[in-house]
Amino acid sequence: MMTISVDNTIRLELITENHAEELFALVDSNRIYLREWLTFVDRMQTVEFARNFVNGTMQRNKEGMEYAFVIIENDTMIGRIGVYKIDNQNKIGEIGYWLAETVQGRGVIAKSTKVLIDFCFSALQLNRIEIKCGTNNLKSKAIPEKLHFTKEGIIRQGEYLNGKYIDLNLYSLLRSEVEH
């Protein structure tokens, strides 16, 4: 199992079928909170759905189309992060993340994203990383802003969420901007 250490209590584990039940329980206990910004939440109604979701993720991981991790703090799953929609020809990946409501505001996502950026540029040899998030999702957009991403603009009606289209901020970070 691929594991990336974030700090002495937090690690990222590449998702496996062993994570399916805990992932479902985490989504289920944070359903109201997560569904405000995440489209998959309403579809994940059973452990079986979570298992199929994880199996699809594992297949895409194996094919190098994405690297999806669960965030583990002191042996408890608290969220997910990954690089998705990897375009190997153009060396672009898109980072996405979410965290349980009870562990918000402690810098977990910022630290995890920083470690994932290093993985993207070194191990995956990507050139560009994108983060897209709802223009009104203040917590999510604080991450790329804190990590010196460039806001490139707004993708108008870029996502269908909870029965309506929302605008997304598009942020990017280039490998040349982090190499010294």
What average pLDDT does range 146-158 have in this prediction? 98
Q: What average pLDDT score do residues 113-117 get?
A: 98
**Which pTM value belongs to this model?**
0.94
Averaged pLDDT, 31-49: 93
Smallest CA-to-CA distance from 151 within 122, 128, 131 is with 131
The pLDDT, as a whole number, for residue 83 is 98
* pLDDT score, position 1: 80
Mean pLDDT of the chain: 96
pLDDT the model gives residue 86: 97
Task: State the DSSP string of 77-128.
Answer: EEEEEEEEEEETTTTEEEEEEEE-GGGTTSSHHHHHHHHHHHHHHHTS--SE
CATH of the domain at 153: 3.40.630.30
Neighbouring CB atoms inside 10 A of 143's CB total 21
pLDDT band at 180 (very low <50, low <70, confident <90, very high): low
Whole domain around residue 96: which residue ranges? 3-178
Confidence at residue 100, expressed as pLDDT on a 0 to 100 scale: 97
pLDDT at 25: 97
Average confidence (pLDDT) over 78-86: 97
Give me the number of domains the chain comprises: 1
